[in-house]
């Protein structure tokens, strides 16, 4: 009996965004936020924080994005909390985007892919963030693993941090920027799904804080895949900025908000209300 192919991440993401609203909420349990919630900067505080966010939002938002580093800093016990969060969030219907920003070559990149994109791994996620700055080809193990498992990959392209410009805006010998090259590679990876009229599974990270800077690369954002947009809230961008940054690609944008929602905790109903307001604001400008 032939095992049916998994539903591609892009298809599942489009469905989740249509049903739950176009929003990704980060799970970023850094020390200051734990303190704001009245929790200790320890594994117990980490677990309480993470469980509260997952219980409140996993049944409501399209995507939850745990930042792996904030769990890794507690060693194996922190990773155990992360494993449970991934499983519980996916069981509740949220797509999980692991924010790990991995990037390496050869067998090491293949091992990272196995950690996050192999369905037998306890950290298996619907998608993972990766860095292309050892060359886009170095990501091939992750791209192939995602295709095989129906998962997705989000590649750093035009990030919201100001330091990123010195690499991402650098010009290649042919005159194109590094970021434009990354976006072109992603469009090629999404070509098969695009031919079917579906959203591709290979996305780019493009900061919502870019403003008019994005006008120079507007057409290049049409990668036929999702665009993860950090920077809304604490970094200064708002949903109203999205059309200027993303133009006609705005429907494929997945705005990522962390502190803008998490600051309303630990009250679960306040978290739900904050996420719902943000999703409504994004939907209003994306339609």
Residue 236 is predicted with a pLDDT of 76
Q: If the chain, 287 residues long, is cut into consecutive pieces of 10 residues, what is the mean pLDDT of each piece?
A: 85 97 96 98 98 98 98 98 98 98 97 98 98 97 98 95 90 90 96 96 92 62 95 81 88 94 97 96 87
Residue 144 is predicted with a pLDDT of 98
Domains of the chain from N-terminus onward: 9-286 (3.20.20.70)
Residue that is written with structure tokens 């091992």 in the block: 111
Residue 118 is predicted with a pLDDT of 98
Residue 66 is predicted with a pLDDT of 98
Is residue 101 annotated as part of the catalytic site, yes or no?
yes
Residue 151 is predicted with a pLDDT of 98
Full DSSP string of 148-215:
HHT-EEEEEEE-SSGGGHHHHTPBPTTS-BHHHHHHHHHHHHTHHHHHTT---SEEEEE-TT-GGGGG
Please identify which of the residues 101, 187, 196, 263 carries the catalytic annotation: 101
Residue 5 is predicted with a pLDDT of 86
Per-residue pLDDT tens digits for 16-72? 999 999 999 999 999 999 999 999 999 999 999 999 999 999 999 999 999 999 999
Residue 269 is predicted with a pLDDT of 98
Q: Is 99 helix (H, G, I), strand (E, B) or coil?
A: strand
Considering the entire predicted model, what is its pTM?
A: 0.96
Residue 235 is predicted with a pLDDT of 72
- 3-state helix, strand, coil split of the chain in percent (to 5) is 55, 15, 30
């Amino acid at each position: 009996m032939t095992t049916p192919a998994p539903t591609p991440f892009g298809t599942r993401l489009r469905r989740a965004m249509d049903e739950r609203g176009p929003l990704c909420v980060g799970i970023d349990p850094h020390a200051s936020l734990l303190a704001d919630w009245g929790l200790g900067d320890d594994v117990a505080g980490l677990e309480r924080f993470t469980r509260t966010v997952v219980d409140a939002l996993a049944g409501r938002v399209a995507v939850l994005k745990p930042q792996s580093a904030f769990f890794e800093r507690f060693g194996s016990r922190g990773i155990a909390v992360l494993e449970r969060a991934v499983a519980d969030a996916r069981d509740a219907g949220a797509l999980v985007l692991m924010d790990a920003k991995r990037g390496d070559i050869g067998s090491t990149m293949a091992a990272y892919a196995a950690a996050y994109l192999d369905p037998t791994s306890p950290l298996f996620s619907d998608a993972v963030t990766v860095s292309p700055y050892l060359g886009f080809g170095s990501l091939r193990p992750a791209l192939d693993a995602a295709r095989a498992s129906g998962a997705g990959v989000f590649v750093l392209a035009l990030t919201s941090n100001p330091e990123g410009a010195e690499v991402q805006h650098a010009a290649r010998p042919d005159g194109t920027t590094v970021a434009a090259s990354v976006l072109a590679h992603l469009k090629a990876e999404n070509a098969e799904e695009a031919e079917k009229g579906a959203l591709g599974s290979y996305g780019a990270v493009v900061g919502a804080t870019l403003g008019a800077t994005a006008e120079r690369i507007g057409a290049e954002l049409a990668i036929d895949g999702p665009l993860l947009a950090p920077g809304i809230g604490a970094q200064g961008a708002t949903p109203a900025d999205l059309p200027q940054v993303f133009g006609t690609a705005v429907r494929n944008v997945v705005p990522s908000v962390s502190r803008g929602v998490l600051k309303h905790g630990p009250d679960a109903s306040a978290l739900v209300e904050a996420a719902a307001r943000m999703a409504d604001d994004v939907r209003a400008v994306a339609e």
